[in-house]
Amino acid sequence: MRYLPHTDEEIAAMLAVVGRNSLDELFCSIPDHCRYQGEMPLPEALSEWQLEEHFAELGEVMTVGSRHKVLIGAGSAHHFIPESIRALLSRSEFLTAYTPYQPEIAQGTLQGIYEYQTLTARLLGMDVANASMYDGASALAEALLMALRIGRKKSRVAVAGSIHPHYRQVVRTYLGPAGYELVELPVGPEGRCDLSALGDLGELAAVAVQSPNFFGVVEDLELLGQQIHQSGALFIVSFSEPLAFGLFKNPGECGADIACGEGQSFGMPRSFGGAGLGMFACREQFVRNMPGRLVGETLDRQGRRGFVLTLATREQHIRREKATSNICSNQGICAMTAAMYMASLGGTGLRRLARLNYDKAQYCQERLGQVGGKVLWNSPVFNEFVIEFAERDFGPVRQRLLAAGIVAGLDLGRFYPEHAGRYLFGITETVDKAVIDRVAEEVEK
């Protein structure tokens, strides 16, 4: 086996040093009743070439492949990824390193993560971003738990019904067993978060909204923030498409106390939903309540600038059950990816790309409107929108488009029974006008 360097002679020599007669004898401290019986029922080992063959077969049974145009976002977006990022990520100095606990030989990771934190904080308009969480869903759950810590005696939080349904499910999983109460706020008539019930909900530690929300609708975060703050709750902004903040006001300038979401669209492939990136940022006053790793600037003994993991007393390896979270790892290489992507785009590029995404989705929405699609809400959207084909059955159209290599939208009934038969479309810079026109033509047929 090519990953195991030991020759039989070396094994014999090493066994002699440790005073054992066989490899089995090394395990003498294991009682019989704990031992594995027989051989593990696993398939035969494959050579590297057989393994490649096996993966080629797995790829072939995917009836939607990389050449398809998948017009779905819903928390997993397709954007172009420059080859320069792929090449840099394959550097094993980044990829095969552990958490930077020895800063003298991990300055590459540490400076990279410090830059990630800084660019993320600037993007979201927040004071401090951490070194990342698992994904947008757990980041939201952790944000709510953080707000409950800050709110001390408060035990209730509210989340908008227009937040990604899976994020809300994860929040329920995280908050349930500790006895916290979770309230869902309704989706208003324009597909935006409806806060009218806020006054009747009693003391809330936090209210979380998503923008752009699950329907692609851009929320009026400033207005929501004011109302939420008036109620005495912390204001949490969730997101699944950070590119939007290249065009729209960021959470910080709208008053958010915590901003968190999914960063997959910054340079990571969809990869069946992972690995992605939980971006997490807050106001400075809350930093000691923050979950997750943080990198900070300092000096070495010769006075040179360097970076270290810091404020670790918040974390589980020191504070154990009183830690701000049980999280230990971060999505390290994904955070590096996002930083590389933000650096490659630059401020100018980010604004341009965000605008391009806006225009494409806008065009698609209008084009489908012209051929009988009914745009459900008049609210502004980014990248995604909901459309209904009331007069035609969209099923056969969708089948024809699939045969042409286009996956046309996501049936919302899966997540919102009241919206069954309505479709959530996701359009990015990867979708040419010709593809959008093709969809419209097929609807018109």
Partner 1 sequence: MKTFSDLIFREGFRYTEDHEWVGTAAEHLEVGVSDYAQDQMGDIVFVELPDEGAVFAKGEQFGTLESVKAVSELYLPVGGEIIEVNSALGDSPELINSDPYGTWLVRIKPADPGQIEQLLTADAYRQMLQG
Partner 2 sequence: MITESNGMMQDEPLLWEKGRRGRQGMSIPASDVPPGKPPAELCGEGPDFPDLSEVDVVRHYTRLSGWNYGVDRGMYPLGSCTMKYNPKINDRLAATPAIAAAHPLLDESQVQGCLQLMYRLQQALAAITGLPGVCLQPAAGAQGELAGMLLFAAWHRHRGSRRTKILIPDTAHGTNPASAALCGFKPVPVASGAEGILEPAAVDALMDEETAGIMITNPNTLGLFESNIREIADLVHARGGLVYGDGANMNAVMGIVSPARCGIDVMHLNLHKTFSTPHGGGGPGAGPVCVSAELSPFLPVPRVVLSDGRYRLEEDHPLAVGRVHAFHGNFSVLVRAYAYIRSMGAEYLKRASQLAVLNAAYLKESLKDTLPLAFPRPCMHECVFSDAWLHEQNVTTLDFAKRLIDYGYHPPTIYFPLVVPGAIMIEPTETESKEELDRFIATVKQIVQEADDDPELLRQAPVRAKLCRLDETRAARQPCLCG
Binders of partner 1 among 302-321, rule CB under 8 A?
A: 310, 312-313, 318-319
Please name which of 443, 388, 6, 402 lies closest in space to residue 215, comparing C-alpha atoms.
388
Tell me the torsion sign for CA atoms 139, 173, 234, 149: negative
Q: How many residues bind partner 2 (CB under 8 A)?
A: 204
**What does 187 bind: partner 2, partner 1, none (CB cut-off 5 to 8 Å by kind)?**
none
Q: Does 65 bind partner 2 (CB under 8 A)?
A: yes
- Fill in the amino acid letter for 376: L
Four-CA torsion 358, 162, 160, 383, nearest 10 degrees = -10
Please name which of 275, 267, 269, 274 lies closest in space to residue 243, comparing C-alpha atoms.
267
Range 264-303, binding partner 1 (CB under 8 A): 288
Report the relative pairing of strands 305-309 and 69-70 from DSSP bridges: unpaired
Q: Which residues contact 36 (CB under 8 A, 6 or more apart)?
A: none
Shortest CB 148 distance to partner 1, Å? 18
Please name which of 172, 219, 215 lies closest in space to residue 193, comparing C-alpha atoms.
219
Minimum CB distance to partner 2 smaller for 228 or for 290: 290
Q: Does 98 bind partner 2 (CB under 8 A)?
A: yes
Shortest CB 420 distance to partner 2, Å? 16
Among 352, 392, 400, 438, binds partner 2 (CB under 8 A): 352
Q: Which residue is it, tokens 């004071």? A: 127
Q: Does 61 bind partner 2 (CB under 8 A)?
A: yes
**What does 131 bind: partner 1, partner 2, none (CB cut-off 5 to 8 Å by kind)?**
partner 2
Task: Determine the Cα–Cα distance for residues 139 and 262; give it in Å rounded to an integer.
Answer: 8
Shortest CB 366 distance to partner 2, Å? 8
Buried b (16+ CB within 10 A) or exposed e, 276-286: bbbbbbbbeeb
Among 215, 235, 248, 423, binds partner 2 (CB under 8 A): 248
**Is 249 in a helix, a strand, or coil?**
coil
**What does 356 bind: partner 1, partner 2, none (CB cut-off 5 to 8 Å by kind)?**
partner 2
In angstroms, the Cα distances linking 247 to 53, 169, 208 are 44, 29, 21
**What does 390 bind: partner 2, partner 1, none (CB cut-off 5 to 8 Å by kind)?**
none
Please name which of 433, 365, 372 lies closest in space to residue 217, comparing C-alpha atoms.
365
Among 182, 201, 323, 375, binds partner 2 (CB under 8 A): 323
Task: Determine the Cα–Cα distance for residues 41 and 66; give it in Å rounded to an integer.
Answer: 34
Q: Does 189 bind partner 2 (CB under 8 A)?
A: no
Q: Does 29 bind partner 2 (CB under 8 A)?
A: yes
Tell me which stretch binds partner 2 (CB under 8 A): 153-161, 201-209, 360-368, 387-395. 360-368
Q: Does 69 bind partner 2 (CB under 8 A)?
A: no
Q: Which residue is it, tokens 């027989």? A: 38
Please name which of 202, 244, 201 lies closest in space to residue 219, comparing C-alpha atoms.
244
Among 107, 227, 231, 289, binds partner 2 (CB under 8 A): 107
Task: Determine the Cα–Cα distance for residues 158 and 148; give it in Å rounded to an integer.
Answer: 11
In angstroms, the Cα distances linking 323 to 59, 129, 281, 337 are 43, 18, 18, 28
**What does 397 bind: partner 2, partner 1, none (CB cut-off 5 to 8 Å by kind)?**
none
Shortest CB 45 distance to partner 1, Å? 43
Q: Does 327 bind partner 2 (CB under 8 A)?
A: yes
**What does 173 bind: partner 1, partner 2, none (CB cut-off 5 to 8 Å by kind)?**
partner 2
Range 410-429, binding partner 2 (CB under 8 A): 410, 429
Minimum CB distance to partner 1 smaller for 188 or for 306: 306
Site string for partner 1, 401-440 (x = CB under 8 A): ----------------------------------------
- Give the interface with partner 1 as residue ranges (CB under 8 A): 288, 310, 312-313, 318-319, 322
